[in-house]
Amino acid sequence: MAHTDAAVAACDPGCAAHSAPRAQLSELAQRMLSQTSKHEGAPAVLMLADGTAFFGRACGARGTATGEVCFNTSVEGYFEVLTDPSYAGQIVTMTYPQIGNYGVDLADTQVAPGAPGELAGNVRPPLRALVVRDLCRTPSNWRSTMSLSEYLEERGIVGIEGVDTRALVRHLRETGAQKGIVSTEVLDLAELRALLAAAPELVGQNLVETVSCREAHAYDPGRVPQGHAFAEAPAAPARHHVVVYDCGVKRGILEGLRRAGCELTVVPWDTPAADVLARRPDGVFLSNGPGDPEAATKTYEQVRSLLGKVPVFGICLGHQMMSLAAGARMEKLKYGHRGGNHPVMNLITRRVEITAQNHGFNLVFPSLGELVPELSGGVSEHPTGADGTAETADLRFWVERGIAPVVANERFGRIRLTHVNLNDGTAEGIQFLDIPAFSVQYHPEASPGPTDAHYLFTAFTRLMDGDPDYLDINIARDRLAGWEFAAA
């Protein structure tokens, strides 16, 4: 396969074409580019762990970055994706072909106040690099304060454009998410391969401690930021004091809790449970976060001590922390769930939510315990997958039957499966029936993404109020709460 500009090098890594970087643009192509807003750009290379290489042009900071290559299917919200702490350690590929057309407004950053070191003050987003098909350098939007390329350069994020992202994503879907390297300074593929081999794997790394706050602090955004006032209503008066475990929490999550009437105290990822309980909170929230959940041992050990003593709500990594605290097993998904268009069935209300997701690991629901037949439609055995094991079962089995199954957990009693991903049948939410606690695998706020899951913030306040039916909420009615156009 010819290695021309913007072409994918998907041939055998040992072929001759992989021994040298891509050819420079022709004189005609250089002249044409010089008359546009793009200009030629320095050459850049993305190489995957299996040796597949993609050639393109630099569109951000110059340098070399390694991480797990993943993809996000959102059409918009690229800036919120860039600044989401859950992407720490990853090279993010955007599947939408043109990125950057509406520019950047720093008011949309998802790096929360109190973030550590380099992340503080929005200095540097947590992801390693950005991969796009085409990066727009001339944005058009009334809220834009700079172009995406300017932001990447200013914040030191390596970017590559001109990549056939369709081919890259299809390759990742077939082979699975894998380690990769992006460079604008090292173009020799043999040298890149050596650098990549020396880079750490995502599994086993504790990335949570790199994005969590360093000390406890109160979070109060005050009035709605001016850039958001056209859409967001002022926060409701605070009724509940909630302690938030910061495992890489997004600012949008904190704002969602605050708008639901929660006064927030944010604490580091490894804060002892005794210190949290000493604050006498009405509830504890476990945030989203990056990487391998089993590496965040100090978090789920504290969660184990909190469950049953105070109402608890967990999302994304927080959901995984609650599952691990209950003795469950996690699986690494082949290529993860990342985007704003994932359909999820709420087994309690039988409503479908279009959700925003960003995770690479998932709960193995049968590992929580044996089914309780009388609470699971008479089913006494977990369904099995193609290999004959319950661990690989497609949980849409329960969607088809209209049942929210319940298992008997050795540590915390009865646990119900409440949400199922309709794309692949994986677990998306659980509810503890004998203690006040629930969790979901996705993000309930629209940063970026739909507002269908906004009701989960309301459910948490209802849980703290002692409502036994706290999850039985009309999603359609609740999802626009907190937005100015809700009354229109």
Asked if 359 contacts 321 with a C-beta cutoff of 8 angstroms, the reply is: no
289 labelled as ligand-binding?
yes
Q: 68, 342, 445, 454: which one is catalytic?
A: 445
409 labelled as ligand-binding?
no
Residue 185 annotated in active site:
no
Q: How many helices (H) and strands (E) does the chain have?
A: 13, 22
**DSSP H helical ranges for 24-100:** 27-34, 78-82
| Torsion, CA 292, CA 297, CA 299, CA 303, rounded to 10 | 110
Give the angle 296-298-299 at the CA atoms, nearest 5°: 70
Q: CA–CA distance from 465 to each of 95, 259, 295, 482 (Å)?
A: 42, 16, 33, 20
358 labelled as ligand-binding?
yes
Of 191, 189, 202, the residue nearest 127 (C-alpha): 202
Chain center to CA of 52: 25
Residue 154 annotated in active site:
no
86 labelled as ligand-binding?
yes
Spell out the SS3 assignment of 451-486: CHHHHHHHHHHHHHHCCCCCCCCCHHHHCCCCEHHH
The identity of residue 129, as a single letter, is A
226 labelled as ligand-binding?
no
412 labelled as ligand-binding?
no
Q: 316, 319, 419, 454: which one is catalytic?
A: 316
291 labelled as ligand-binding?
yes
Q: Residue 231 has which token pair?
A: 């859409």
Helix (H, G, I), strand (E, B) or coil at 121: helix
Residue 27 annotated in active site:
no
Q: What whole-number distance in Å separates Cα of residue 286 and Cα of residue 316?
A: 9
Q: Which residue has the tokens 């184990």?
A: 304
Q: CA–CA distance from 286 to each of 239, 242, 349, 468 (Å)?
A: 19, 10, 24, 21
Q: 342, 359, 443, 454: which one is catalytic?
A: 443
Asked if 323 contacts 368 with a C-beta cutoff of 8 angstroms, the reply is: yes
CA dihedral for 101, 106, 112, 114, sign (positive or negative): positive
Residue ranges of the annotated binding site are 86, 289, 291, 317, 320, 358, 360-361
Residue ranges of the annotated binding site for L-glutamine are 86, 289, 291, 317, 320, 358, 360-361
What residues are annotated to the active site? 316, 443, 445
